[in-house]
Chains A and B, each alone.
Chain A
Amino acid sequence: MDGFGVTFAFWILAAVTLVAGSGVMVSRNLLHAVLFLILAFVGVAGFFVLLSAEFIAMAQVIIYVGAIAVLVLFAVLLTPRASRDNSETVWALPGMLLAVCLAAIFLFVVHDTQWKTMTDAPLLTTQDLGRSLLGTWVLPFEIASVLLTAALVGAIMLTRSAEEEAEDALA
């Protein structure tokens, strides 16, 4: 994709995502951090659209924003208030050190790789995606579904109250 609009959109999205990402780290209030995280997710979805992968972009919004962010919000909500702020910890310095090292590795890789540029984006439709998911990659797909089912059953088991367990024990 080419053109002024694409470049403009790219820079705007980059700025928004980076600001949101740093907002997650910097904000003191945990809920504000989660909201910045949602913004970062939406920014990444925008990047997918720029790469002509609209299906993945929509899937990103549905899954990350619609489900995972809600999960994080529930977790933030239901934990006791004492640990609800992003305050200074002793791990700040090691964290920054780790971040600097990771950034160095990424920059090195980005600089050193011979990136192949394509003139035309291969037009992958959703049909191709579906065919490959259920054809070539069917085993990981099915394993992921089994994993999700196990997680669902585990969540239900964890939250059963005493009476329901007793009820089931006799049945």
Chain B
Amino acid sequence: MTGVIKSEPFVINIGPQHPSTHGVFRIRATVDGEKVIDAEMVMGYLHRSMEKLAEERTYTQNIPFTDRTDYLSSMSNNLGYCLAAEKLAGIEVPARGDAIRVIMAELQRLASHCMAVGAFANDTGAWQTPIMWTLREREKILDIFEVTSGARLTCNYMRIGGVAFDLRPPFEPMVRKVLTELPPVIEEIEQLLSGNEIFVSRTRGIGVLSPELATNASLSGPMLRGSGIAWDIRKADPYCGYDQYDFDIPIGYRGDSYDRFIVRLEEMRQSVKIVEQALDGLPSGPFCTEVPLALRPPKGEAYARIESPRGELGYYLVSDEGPSPYRFHIRPPSFINLSALKEMTVGGTVADAIVVLGSIDIVVGEIDR
């Protein structure tokens, strides 16, 4: 009976213009009817050769570059780069600087996850309602960033040795406001989506990532945690004094898109906890150590990694005692996370491929640099 009706596979392009906010990224999918047989990723639409340009600029001048790689979490990028440069040059950061860095990184995680959760809900088709609610909260966080660093999106706030400016008076009440108003919105999103039968049937069992594949492909972030692997660089390899704060790592059950979604929601709750603790115990003192303008670190190399909202963000710097780095390399979490995309999408339908891509939460700026 089978084989009587022939069908031929054909190739469609998913991208580079996405309906949802993932950026310019292309998947060439070979589709047989509705099923995806093969998925090939084409990247490079946003390549800006940051790594090469960084070799012409001093260490401090490179900080704005890092803003623009993962433009949805610029504070985290700044932090990673400053940690790498400090490791290379052997500079200590004062306690107040560390605490401010932690607050900013966690606030950035909240903002980035707001966007990720909203865009994911958008991909499943919930007509912009969840994204409007989460973006409203993100606006408050972006206002906080504007008050502290002068910019909403590409903050350029961290400096090698601490942070650029001290906290201004409107900072604390604004952060407290966010901490009280954000958890109810997370509850609302949970009520609206996590219990919704349609959402569950769209995301549960879709894009299952086994723990073996996750470890072998060196994935990180919510993708790893969604598959049940408890690994968080803030706990495993603490930086900036993260070991003084008390928080949990959320892990998922089976590694499907639904697990990644609830892991992100829970991470938002944990970030709120961390910001509360950091704000309550904010030490006084200098916020930045004095560092010469044209920093010339000794010969050597350093690799520093942080837990950015998307996963393990690593910076690799090689110095040759000049004012600019000899080599500047970014280990982008989105790029490494995408290597598992093919296994996750093959066998599902085109609609599922979109949902899986949304659950990986990529930012093309850091894939292509």
Contact = CB atoms under 8 A, between A and B. Distances in A.
Most chain A Cβ neighbours within 10 Å, of B1, B2, B3, B5? B2
Interface residues of A, number: 7
Nearest to B2: A162
B123 to A, nearest CB: 27
Contacts, number: 12
A62 B3 CA distance: 33
Contacts of B1: 157-158, 160, 165
B4 interface: yes
Interface residues on B, range: under 10
Contacts of B3: 162
A75 to B, nearest CB: 12
Interface in B1-17: 1-5
A159 interface: yes
A161 interface: yes
A133 B1 CA distance: 37
Interface string A81-117: 0000000000000000000000000000000000000
Contacts of A161: 2
A165 B3 CA distance: 12
A157 B1 CA distance: 7
A146 to B, nearest CB: 22
Contacts of A157: 1
A162 B7 CA distance: 13
Interface string A143-171: 00000000000000111111001000000
12 contacts: A157-B1, A158-B1, A158-B4, A158-B5, A159-B5, A160-B1, A160-B2, A161-B2, A162-B2, A162-B3, A165-B1, A165-B2
Interface of B: 1-5
Given A158-B1, A159-B5, A161-B2, 9 more contacts: A157-B1, A158-B4, A158-B5, A160-B1, A160-B2, A162-B2, A162-B3, A165-B1, A165-B2
